[in-house]
Structure 1
Amino acid sequence: MKRPVFKPAVFRKRRARRPHPRLKGLSINHLLPNVLTVLALCSGLTAIRFAMHERWEQAVVCIVIAAIFDALDGRIARLLNGQSKFGAELDSLSDVISFGVAPAFMMYLWALNGAGSLGWIAAMAYAVCAALRLARFNSRLDVDLPPWAFNYFTGVPAPAGAGLAILPMVIGFEAGPDIAGHPAVVVPWTLAMGGLMVSTLPTFSFKGMRVPTQYVVPGLVGVGLLAASLVSQPWWTLAFLGLAYLASLPFSVAQFRKLQQAAQMMKETEETPVEEAVVSAPETPSSQETTKTAND
């Protein structure tokens, strides 16, 4: 009986199939927030262009559009899990231009130049305050805040500060620039808005705000009325929103202090039973013997 002849080729190792090549690069989810940030930057730069041609209304609209893009990019990044260090840095650079340089440039060309050097100082001070506010925000990104402080900003955020800075211009569209655009009004107003941005006042962030179920329908009706007001009376509506935000600052400070005091009282309540248990603990036999020996 012949033995079977085994050919070496039969036992050759099969070559592993090459996996399909994967596409390198960022996904759309990671890219979309950065696209919105770039659009906000372009809108801020366009506001500067309109201000150079004294087209003030279009410049204000560009600032509003930049604020909308700025509000969307962060939320979309969190929803799509597209947060990145690059996006955070790009967002801050965009905010410096759109909400720091652009409003200062607009206000200087509109009214601050009438105050001479003092007006230029006010414009520069506002832009510097915006940059400092954003630098402080970036330095605290990795700081763990207590749960009760999560819904608060430190100082007025840059988009809100920009809206408040150009508030005299918005009011001047309807009431006239004689009073709203007077250097005696605009110079201290611009300095005050810059000071609010670098202040330590706790302001509402509206990040974790939840609408109760019974207020959902009235809230949607209010959004519809707000949209109708923006279409029919855009400047008075924007002025009302700015003044309403200013009026909310004392309430945000009071609410923050109330939560801070409640957290402090809760902490003291938790520490008190532990201290009482340590004081009222009975002496151990070894400690009693040590005390007796010392007395002898």
Structure 2
Amino acid sequence: MKFKGARRKKPLGGAVYILPNLFTTGNLFFGFFAIIKCLQEDFMWASGAILLAAVFDMLDGRVARLTGGTSEFGVQYDSLCDLVSFGVAPAFIMYMAGLDGLGRLGWIICFMFMACGALRLARFNVQSSIGQASGDFVGLPIPMAAGVIACFVAVWSGFEVGPNDFTIVKWVHSLLNANDFRIAFFCVAGVGLALAMVTNIPYRSHKTLNIKGIKPFRILVLGVALTGLVAYQPELFGFLLFAGYAVSGPLEWMFGWTKAVDDDDIFEPGSGNVLETAGERGYPSEADKNDNSGS
């Protein structure tokens, strides 16, 4: 039965698809801005821009779900923007901030990081199209890998020591001022993060964490404690959080808590256009799956 005074809501139409893609464009802007600042050797701004890109990468997935604006175009656009912001930009920073002095070896390490990031994104898109991108991540999400590099550069560029700081804080400051240490870190981290992105080792997604048995008050206390630590030295503890997540996957695998995932089927021929199948099923991007804490 229809009532005379009832008004039908107008469909949002294309607006629901434009809005999340605008946030994705913000992700791309800050990735490009990071490259510009890197070329100007303003590494603090460059690292900050990558972290801002990660924020927009998180928001576009959340907005897409809230508005029902998930689309195949958004999936592919998100991956392309992620490659610029979390693949190309960190590679530029590593090269300009230390690896340029190594010549050919330096740019090969940077290329390896960027190429493995591209492989990481391509693998996820295919896994999404065949319905295998649910649950934990397979390999380190590329925004988390970029976060390790960005936070380290932020620590190096903006780490300050006060007269009343702990001895360990002063020791970290002196270590960061050593040019050889920075170069060694970029070499190890560049190769290690590249391999972590393409490995078959699973990484935990926050959606698979079971916190039902933990009392809410304890979670609140833990959150307050973490906030206090980050506020004391935001660059340092931000780096520790990103780096801790990066090594969590291999550690869980080494202790037998997780098992490597078989991904050979990503190269098997499908029964049609893989991209069309993904669009018909409405699979979200990997950023959407994790509220975009990682692609």
- In the superposition, the TM-score normalised over structure 2's length comes to 0.71
| Equivalent of 2:259 in 257, 260, 264 | 257
Gaps of 5+ in 2: 1-9, 160-172, 263-295
State the AA in 2 paired with 1:26.
Answer: G
- Partner of 2:70: helix, strand, or coil? coil
2:170 maps to: none
Q: Distance in 1 between matches of 2:200 and 2:214?
A: 34
Matches within 5 A, 1:45-124: 45-124=32-111
Higher-RCO chain (CA-CA 8 Å, sequence separation at least 6): 2
Q: Would you say 1:154 and 2:141 are equivalent positions?
A: no
Q: Would you say 1:164 and 2:148 are equivalent positions?
A: yes
How far 1:195 moved relative to its partner?
1.2
Q: Distance in 1 between matches of 2:11 and 2:130?
A: 36
**Alpha carbons of 1:168 and 1:41: their partners in 2 closer, same or farther (altered >3 Å)?**
same
Q: Distance in 1 between matches of 2:12 and 2:247?
A: 50
Q: Distance in 2 between matches of 1:227 and 1:41?
A: 28
2:14 maps to: 26
2:164 maps to: none
1:222 maps to: 222
- Partner of 2:128: helix, strand, or coil? coil
Q: Would you say 1:137 and 2:124 are equivalent positions?
A: yes
1:289 maps to: none
- 1:57-98 deviations in whole A, cap 9, x for unaligned? 221111111112212222332232211001001100110000
Gaps of 5+ in 1: 1-21, 261-296
Q: Would you say 1:190 and 2:187 are equivalent positions?
A: no
Q: Distance in 1 between matches of 2:250 and 2:105?
A: 30
**Alpha carbons of 1:246 and 1:25: their partners in 2 closer, same or farther (altered >3 Å)?**
closer
State the AA in 1 paired with 2:232.
Answer: S
**Alpha carbons of 1:94 and 1:48: their partners in 2 closer, same or farther (altered >3 Å)?**
same
Given that 1:155 and 1:201 are in contact with CA atoms closer than 8 Å, whether structure 2 keeps it comes out as yes
How far 1:228 moved relative to its partner?
4.0
- 1:233-279 deviations in whole A, cap 9, x for unaligned? 1111112202321342145534433999xxxxxxxxxxxxxxxxxxx
Given that 2:147 and 2:239 are in contact with CA atoms closer than 8 Å, whether structure 1 keeps it comes out as no
- 1:7-49 deviations in whole A, cap 9, x for unaligned? xxxxxxxxxxxxxxx899512x332221211111111111112
1:200 maps to: 200
Matches within 5 A, 1:226-241: 226-241=226-241
Given that 1:40 and 1:67 are in contact with CA atoms closer than 8 Å, whether structure 2 keeps it comes out as yes
**Alpha carbons of 1:71 and 1:119: their partners in 2 closer, same or farther (altered >3 Å)?**
same
How far 1:115 moved relative to its partner?
0.9
How far 1:50 moved relative to its partner?
1.7
Q: Distance in 1 between matches of 2:184 and 2:197?
A: 21
Identity across aligned pairs (percent)?
34
Q: Distance in 2 between matches of 1:258 and 1:129?
A: 18
Q: How many residues align?
A: 236
The alignment's C-alpha RMSD in Å is 2.8
Q: Distance in 1 between matches of 2:202 and 2:213?
A: 27
Q: Distance in 1 between matches of 2:58 and 2:178?
A: 33
- 1:204-249 deviations in whole A, cap 9, x for unaligned? 1223445327433333343344444444311111122023213421
Given that 1:152 and 1:202 are in contact with CA atoms closer than 8 Å, whether structure 2 keeps it comes out as yes
Which portions of structure 1, spanning 4 or more consecutive aligned residues, are displaced by more than 6 angstroms? none
